[in-house]
Amino acid sequence: VSGPVRDLGAPELKTLVDDMFETMHAANGAGLAAPQIGVPLRVVIFGYADPALRNPRYPDADPVPQTILLNPVLQPLGEEMEEGWEGCLSVPGLRGVVPRATKLRYAGFDLDGRRIERVAEGFHARVVQHECDHLDGILYPMRMPDLSRLGFTDVLFPELAGQPDD
Ligand code: NI
């Protein structure tokens, strides 16, 4: 379980976030959490600067705004859950079907200490939940009620074979 960022203005955070984007882009990922690169702080990144640039791993997904979120807090809105495929850089070579809250509100701070608060649905909400789970040491298979729907990416999605995980 990662600890909170205590100094939102610490200059090392910029370096950390730069490293995280580099790792995420190298893996064609939709997001990344700081503990995935060995830094146990509550920092996540996700999304794309250019919403027209869809993730090749999730070509049908709605665009997600590029976001840096420090000390995130999530609040599901409503009871509705939906299933979707997920992969993870920390669980290489696999994908699984994970139920997630369809809609949520999330809040946190950017690198300038400004508060971010948004309502997200669908893939956007899924990515936020996946990344924030990393901060609590939870990987997506731990959210799967049915492990028969966990499998190797190159078998389940041959068209994605050879691509890195996210
Ligand atoms: Ni992950």
Walking along the chain (166 residues) 10 residues at a time, the average pLDDT comes out as 96 97 92 97 91 62 88 98 96 96 98 96 96 98 97 89 58
Candidates 13, 14, 38, 116; CA nearest to 73 is: 116
Predicted TM-score (pTM) of this structure: 0.91
Which residues are known catalytic residues?
131
Q: What is the pLDDT of residue 161?
A: 65
Ligand 1 mean position, distance from CA 36 (Å): 8
Residue partners of 132: CB distance under 8 A and separation at least 6: 33, 44, 72, 74, 106
Ligand 1 mean position, distance from CA 96 (Å): 12
End-to-end Cα separation, the chain, in angstroms: 20
CA dist., res. 78 & res. 93, Å (int): 33
Q: What is the pLDDT of residue 49?
A: 74
Contact 113, 8 (CB under 8 A): yes
Ligand 1 mean position, distance from CA 102 (Å): 18
Q: What is the pLDDT of residue 60?
A: 64
Contact 111, 68 (CB under 8 A): yes
Candidates 19, 28, 25, 20; CA nearest to 44 is: 20
Ligand 1 mean position, distance from CA 8 (Å): 23
Q: What is the pLDDT of residue 159?
A: 83
Which residues make beta-bridge pairs with 83? 99
What single DSSP character describes residue 165? P
Which residues make beta-bridge pairs with 43? 70
Other C-beta atoms closer than 10 Å to the C-beta of 110 total 14
